Structure 1
Amino acid sequence: MAVRRAVIQLVLMVLLYSSPVVECFFKRISCTISSDCNCDFKPNIRGLEWDLYKNLYGQHLAQDTVSEEVANFLQKESPDQPLVLSFHGGSGTGKTLVSAMLGRHLYGTAMGSPYIHQFVPTLHFPSPDRVQQYRLELKDWVQGNLTACARSIFIFDEMENMPPGVIDILKPFLGPSHTVFGTNYRKAIYIFISTIGEEVINRMALETRQAGKEREEIRLVDLEDAISQAVFNNSRSGFFHSSIIQEKLLTSFVPFLPLGRRHVERCARRELCQRGECQRTDVVEAVGGAVVYMPEQGQHFSSKGCKSVPAKVNLFL
């Protein structure tokens, strides 16, 4: 009788603790007494979509692709492979801004979370003759952080300055079957940021404008293959002749289009509003007129996107 009662109690406990409400309750208690990335990981997909819509200007491809890919990835409790996004476009077009948005809407902080890791080649991988050393260090660093937190986010900035060969050490982590010591490495997110492919993207934007079409008519399929070829064949690219490209381990190439004057002025207005000066339309117009535009014939797009806008606002405010 005592054994039967014990069995019944065990079954009831299993059923009780499997209740989503109870599971959530005990998770909250656990998170108050211990540090765990699952406690900090609080994805807000609607918030991300709104942030992209409201604060990313002139980038319908990035808005649609990032929100869709992140939403699809997070819907899976056990993803088939990591989410690997490669951002491409000119300076000041929003690539770093979107990376910060991802951090803010997944971990509640732009870049301050201990589970968001950023690499800058000129800082972390400065010498092309130390590729083998960098490969070993990068592998150990990524594997160690993934073991600590399967939901880690890795951001590789300035891939145009990454010594070719370094990034290929990540290939086993990006595939569909990498599980070590019980840790599912397929829950991680990788973001690569590069200006390589800028020429391809800008040419498409210019041709679209010259044809009298709206930039929103440009589709992702119109650019993905061209960007892939550009980064694979460019000897300055960290993806130069990379097996990661060859084996199609990137989820998506995300193009960032060049920005026109109206986008620059929206950036200026946002900057002013952050300073409590939303009403200064005179400064908005002055900034829009002071930015350098390209190409020389036509001057359709800002040569540095919105990168110089804060300095211009300071000048005219």
Structure 2
Amino acid sequence: MLAALCILVLLSFCPALCVFQKLYCSFSDSCDCDFRPNIRDLEWDIYKNVFGQHLVQDIVSEEVVKFLQNKNPDRPLVLSFHGSSGTGKTLVSSMLGTHLFASAMSSPYVHQFVATLHFPVPHRVQQYRRELKSWVQGNLTECAHSIFIFDEMERMPAGLVDVLEPFLGPSHVVFYTNYRKAVYVFISSTGEEVINRAALENRQSGQEREAIALADLEDAIAQAAYNNHTSGFFQSSIIQQKLITRFVPFLPLSRRHVERCVLSQLCQRGHCGRSDVVDAVGRDVAFHPVQGQYFSTTGCKAVSAKIDLFL
């Protein structure tokens, strides 16, 4: 209705009315801003294409559903993904953008930051803080449902993400911005030692992988991120103020998980029947520890290149 009215009064009132529309959009679910959540497809995508991650499947689905069902949340959804390379952290973050916006990851309301690309010089942290705060506030004014993804948090300059604290808590007010409907995702390898140790102990004790619970890991991951002086979360007020909704552990992948990745990618290429390639890639992947060879050192990250080699 606002868009139609804007056209009717284009010559005299359009600039003011369109500004009002943007403000209205930030406070209302009635505006477009490309937000088209498809929770069923999100849940199916996670369960079908994220291998060996029962905690991720349960936590992400549960938290996203709970967040979106609340029409007036008191704070944004803040997820922090932790684990080794190739375990699915970036994949799951892209699934969020894909299934929450009509334009998927190409939506102008999905914002991705990579530490080594966007914040490469540690001594410029104050400049980065000003720019990041302005960027986030400006884009939240455009669309309250914006997603902000921060990758390589283990390489992020310490203190930078703390500028986001006013946008993450329940008690702050940011002028002209409904910041409580946004989603933030932090991606980091920090805490992988804690996660991998728990997975190894679980495997050596002969327990089912699904016996590993979030309660066994979440506090330890938070402490690892907070105390790691090379982490972007080092002594972070975001952790101290408990502004992260969930620390999500990504477990290391066994050979059978890697082989499922291989089979999935083969099927996407039209070669579902190539079990010989699945076996060849599985044998070529490096596993650790030396005794036991339980977990892949690279997860599914190098699978595509290895498929090219054996296909």
Q: What residue is the counterpart of 1:196 in the other structure?
A: 190
CA deviation after TM superposition for structure 1 residue 78, in Å: 1.1
Give the SS at the match of 1:38: coil
Unaligned stretches of 5+ in structure 2? 9-17, 26-30
Q: What residue is the counterpart of 1:51 in the other structure?
A: 45
Pair 27,200 (structure 1): closer, same or farther in 2 beyond 3 Å: farther
Residue pair 1:178, 1:186 contacting (<8 A) in 2 also: no
After alignment, is 193-202 or 169-178 more displaced? Answer: 169-178
Q: What residue is the counterpart of 1:12 in the other structure?
A: none
User: Which of residues 69, 78, 84 is equivalent to 2:78?
Assistant: 84
Q: What residue is the counterpart of 1:108 in the other structure?
A: 102
Q: What residue is the counterpart of 2:298 in the other structure?
A: 304
Q: Measure the CA separation in 2 of the matches of 1:192 and 1:176.
A: 19
Give the SS at the match of 1:65: helix
Residue pair 1:178, 1:184 contacting (<8 A) in 2 also: no
Give the SS at the match of 1:79: coil
CA deviation after TM superposition for structure 1 residue 64, in Å: 0.3
Give the SS at the match of 1:236: coil
Give the SS at the match of 1:298: coil
After alignment, is 192-201 or 105-114 more displaced? Answer: 105-114
Could you give the per-residue CA deviations for residues 251-288 of structure 1, whole angstroms, max 9, x where no partner exists?
A: 00000000000000000001101110011010011111
Give the SS at the match of 1:81: coil
Residue pair 2:34, 2:103 contacting (<8 A) in 1 also: no
Matches within 5 A, 1:112-261: 112-261=106-255
Unaligned stretches of 5+ in structure 1? 1-25
Residue pair 2:166, 2:174 contacting (<8 A) in 1 also: no
Percent identity between the aligned chains?
70
Q: Measure the CA separation in 2 of the matches of 1:96 and 1:43.
A: 19
After alignment, is 34-43 or 99-108 more displaced? Answer: 34-43
Q: Measure the CA separation in 2 of the matches of 1:28 and 1:275.
A: 43
Q: Measure the CA separation in 2 of the matches of 1:267 and 1:168.
A: 36
Pair 286,110 (structure 1): closer, same or farther in 2 beyond 3 Å: farther
CA deviation after TM superposition for structure 1 residue 109, in Å: 4.1
Give the SS at the match of 2:233: coil
Residue pair 2:33, 2:143 contacting (<8 A) in 1 also: no
Could you give the per-residue CA deviations for residues 216-262 of structure 1, whole angstroms, max 9, x where no partner exists?
A: 10000000000000000001110000011001000000000000000
Paired residue total: 291
Pair 111,249 (structure 1): closer, same or farther in 2 beyond 3 Å: same
After alignment, is 129-138 or 187-196 more displaced? Answer: 129-138
- The two structures have a TM-score, normalised by structure 1, of 0.88
Q: What residue is the counterpart of 2:258 in the other structure?
A: 264
Residue pair 2:162, 2:236 contacting (<8 A) in 1 also: yes
Structure 1 position 60 matched with structure 2 position 47: no
Q: What residue is the counterpart of 2:267 in the other structure?
A: 273
Q: Measure the CA separation in 1 of the matches of 2:196 and 2:39.
A: 30
Counterpart amino acid of residue 132 in structure 1: Q
CA deviation after TM superposition for structure 1 residue 179, in Å: 3.6
Q: Measure the CA separation in 2 of the matches of 1:203 and 1:180.
A: 41
Q: Measure the CA separation in 2 of the matches of 1:61 and 1:232.
A: 22
Could you give the per-residue CA deviations for residues 198-224 of structure 1, whole angstroms, max 9, x where no partner exists?
A: 000000000001011011100000000
Could you give the per-residue CA deviations for residues 133-165 of structure 1, whole angstroms, max 9, x where no partner exists?
A: 111111011111111111100000000110001
RMSD: 1.9
- The two structures have a TM-score, normalised by structure 2, of 0.90
Residue pair 1:272, 1:280 contacting (<8 A) in 2 also: yes
Q: What residue is the counterpart of 1:74 in the other structure?
A: 68
Counterpart amino acid of residue 229 in structure 2: S
User: Which of residues 21, 37, 40 is equivalent to 2:34?
Assistant: 40
Q: What residue is the counterpart of 2:11 in the other structure?
A: none
Give the SS at the match of 1:193: strand
Larger Rg computed on CA atoms: 1
Give the SS at the match of 2:106: coil
CA deviation after TM superposition for structure 1 residue 104, in Å: 0.8
User: Which of residues 269, 288, 292 is equivalent to 1:294?
Assistant: 288
Q: Measure the CA separation in 1 of the matches of 2:269 and 2:171.
A: 49
Pair 214,28 (structure 1): closer, same or farther in 2 beyond 3 Å: farther
Q: What residue is the counterpart of 1:16 in the other structure?
A: none
